[in-house]
């Protein structure tokens, strides 16, 4: 059975999640980051993957001896288990010998299983600000040597663009002052003029050289970044994603979406895609009873959706709060119980957002699991385990679950974003989800789902198949960014 389409595992004849199925044999993204000392490799890796190296006690380099730099070493971090890093740190400035090390390493990773292959190379080059050369003879030989041999996407990442901007601003300011302009005005003028100047200078000193015959075309793409410029980092993430082509493209795209911890849109899109796939799996399984496997219930599909979405968001969750039963119960109680009742005479009945009756805190549940499931929830859970997936009520439930889980993750992302430590706690999860629960966004999402899925007569087979696509549209329209709310709360606490 093709890997890209959902399938049953042969051994257990049991349902596998979309991601488990897609990423069989290789569930970690492997990146090689190279470049001279100090160009900003570690800073970039930390920004994109929340992968602290030098200062992180958890960062673990197998067989690492202080002072020894070996490109072969797999660097892993407990903060992000979906990435393996190879770092060329310590390599001498573009020397032929250093680049030979990279070349040999890449050679050794050719023709090996996908899990051993390098999936992408970031070749970091610091943008010159004062006439230095971005590429030296060693770099030139390296690119030349890779020509025709390398099938790993190689992205040239020009770093520290902000330094060039700053330099250009200084130059412009001086020019205006020399021309007799008052200092304050000169600075203002320089600020706006320097943006364009920096772009032009970047093109002249970097892009044109890379595009020239001096550098062989063994690279796949290039971009410029500045660690504090979120947009530039997002560009690098998009560019990297776009280079993951070939027969393993879908597989690698999933690993990439999971490993990176910076591009929120990619997380949302990928979550919806996983949800969509599992929803369709559920419908298909209902339509054609699969012999030999246990009944596919709504609950089974919900569990798989949950597993995949948690995996994609890849939060630093050492206590596994997000995959635990307490959290799943918490979500059911918060979002699903109101949707189980097909009470369409009161289509807005799911919007009791101020009425949090019976809702135990997630923190409480952890210590008192008995508290987790009230009788209403028990009832709901039982219904979920009995009803077919094709009824309007279950379609509503699945759509809402995909939307709520994803948007709650978005809320959690914003909550922890300003923090140096990204380790999440039960209190964080509870706060993030309750903030989403009390939001306009959730009201809109639920009311759109209710509007879309009316009673049985209106709920035609056609709509049934379109529902997964519909949930994507609803979420994309109602994205949830509670930054303002969290900032407000932080101010109040201070």
Ligand X SMILES: Nc1nc2c(ncn2[C@@H]2O[C@H](COP(=O)(O)OP(=O)(O)OP(=O)(O)O)[C@@H](O)[C@H]2O)c(=O)[nH]1
Per CB under 6 A, residues contacting ligand X are: 35, 37-43, 89, 159-160, 162-163, 226-227
Residue 439 interacting with Mg ion (CB under 5 A): no
> What is the closest distance, in whole angstroms, from the C-beta atom of residue 84 to Mg ion in the complex?
16
Residue 226 interacts with which of ligand X, Mg ion, none, CB < 5 to 8 Å by class? ligand X
Is residue 396 part of the contact set for Mg ion (CB under 5 A)? no
Q: Which residue is nearest to Mg ion (CB)?
A: 42
Per-residue x/- mask for Mg ion, residues 23 to 42, rule CB under 5 A?
------------------xx
Closest separation between CB of residue 161 and Mg ion, Å? 19
Partner whose footprint covers residue 441, from ligand X, Mg ion, none (CB < 5 to 8 Å by kind) = none
| 443 in Cβ contact with 358 (< 8 Å) | no
Please report whether residue 89 would count as binding Mg ion according to CB under 5 A.
yes
Report, in Å, the least distance between residue 107 CB and Mg ion.
Answer: 24
CB burial of residue 25 (10 Å; 0-12, 13-18, 19+): exposed
Structure tokens at 306: 């949950």
Look at residue 43 and give the partner it binds from Mg ion, ligand X, none, a contact being a CB closer than 5 to 8 Å depending on partner kind: ligand X
Question: Which residues is 86 bridged to in the sheet?
Answer: 32
Judged by CB under 5 A, does residue 77 bind Mg ion? no
d(CA 25, CA 310): 20
Name the binder of 40 from Mg ion, ligand X, none, CB < 5-8 A by kind: ligand X
Q: Closest approach of Cβ 39 to ligand X, in Å?
A: 4
- Minimum Å gap between C-beta 35 and ligand X is 6
Tell me the backbone φ, ψ of residue 224, rounded to 5 degrees.
-115, 145
Picked from Mg ion, ligand X, none, the partner binding residue 241 (CB below 5 to 8 A depending on kind) is none
Q: How far is CA 437 from CA 305, 407, 473, in A?
A: 19, 10, 19
Q: Transcribe 64-96 into DSSP letters.
A: --TT---TTS-EEETTEEEEEEEE-TT--TT-H
Residue 107 CB, nearest approach to ligand X (Å): 22
Q: Which does 227 bind (CB under 5 to 8 A by kind): ligand X, Mg ion, none?
A: ligand X
Give the H or E element holding residue 123: strand 120-126
**245-254 own/partner pairs: CB under 8 Å, 24+ apart:** 245/153, 246/151, 248/114, 250/4, 250/22, 251/3, 251/22, 251/23, 251/26, 251/114, 252/29, 252/119, 254/19, 254/22, 254/23
Nearer to Mg ion, 42 or 314 (CB): 42
Interface contacts to Mg ion, rule CB under 5 A: 41-42, 89
């Amino acid at each position: 059975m093709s890997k890209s389409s959902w399938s049953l595992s042969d051994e257990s004849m049991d349902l596998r999640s979309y991601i488990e199925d897609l990423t069989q044999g290789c569930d970690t993204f492997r990146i090689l980051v190279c470049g001279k000392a100090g160009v900003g490799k570690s800073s970039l890796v930390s920004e994109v993957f929340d992968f602290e190296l030098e200062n992180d006690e958890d960062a673990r380099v197998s067989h690492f001896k202080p002072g020894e730099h070996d490109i072969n070493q797999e660097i892993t971090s407990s903060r992000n288990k979906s990435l393996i890093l190879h770092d060329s740190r310590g390599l001498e400035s573009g020397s032929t010998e250093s680049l030979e090390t990279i070349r040999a390493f890449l050679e050794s990773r050719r023709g090996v299983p996908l899990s051993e292959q390098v999936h992408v190379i970031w070749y970091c080059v610091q943008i010159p600000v004062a006439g230095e050369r971005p590429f030296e003879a060693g770099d030139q030989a390296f690119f030349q040597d890779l020509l025709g041999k390398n099938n790993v996407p190689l992205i040239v990442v020009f770093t520290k663009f902000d330094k060039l901007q700053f330099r250009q601003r200084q130059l412009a300011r001086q020019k205006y002052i020399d021309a007799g302009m008052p200092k304050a005005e000169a600075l203002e003028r320089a600020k706006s003029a320097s943006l364009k100047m920096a772009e032009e200078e970047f093109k002249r000193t970097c892009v044109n050289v890379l595009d020239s015959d001096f550098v062989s075309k063994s690279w796949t793409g290039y971009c410029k970044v500045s660690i504090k410029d979120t947009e530039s980092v997002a560009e690098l993430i998009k560019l990297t994603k776009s280079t993951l082509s070939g027969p393993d493209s879908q597989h690698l795209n999933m690993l990439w979406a999971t490993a990176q911890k910076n591009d929120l849109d990619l997380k949302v899109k990928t979550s919806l895609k996983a949800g969509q796939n599992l929803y369709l799996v559920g419908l298909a399984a209902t339509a054609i009873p699969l012999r030999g496997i246990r009944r596919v219930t709504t609950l089974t599909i919900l569990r798989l959706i949950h597993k995949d979405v948690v995996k994609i968001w890849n939060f630093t969750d050492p206590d596994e709060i997000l995959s635990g039963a307490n959290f799943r119960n918490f979500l059911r109680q918060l979002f699903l119980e109101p949707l189980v009742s097909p009470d369409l005479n009161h289509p807005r009945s799911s919007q009791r957002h101020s009425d949090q009756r019976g809702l135990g805190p997630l923190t409480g549940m952890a210590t008192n699991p008995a508290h987790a499931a009230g009788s209403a929830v028990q009832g709901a859970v039982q219904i979920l385990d009995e009803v077919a997936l094709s009824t309007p009520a279950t379609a509503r439930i699945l759509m809402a679950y995909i939307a709520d889980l994803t948007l709650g993750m978005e809320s959690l992302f914003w909550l922890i974003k300003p923090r140096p430590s990204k380790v999440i706690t039960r209190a964080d999860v509870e706060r993030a989800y309750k903030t989403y629960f009390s939001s306009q966004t959730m009201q809109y999402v639920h009311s759109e789902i209710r509007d879309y899925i009316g009673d049985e007569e209106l709920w035609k087979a056609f709509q049934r198949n379109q529902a997964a696509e519909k949930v994507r549209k609803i979420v994309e329209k109602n994205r949830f960014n509670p930054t303002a709310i969290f900032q407000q709360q932080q101010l109040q606490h201070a």
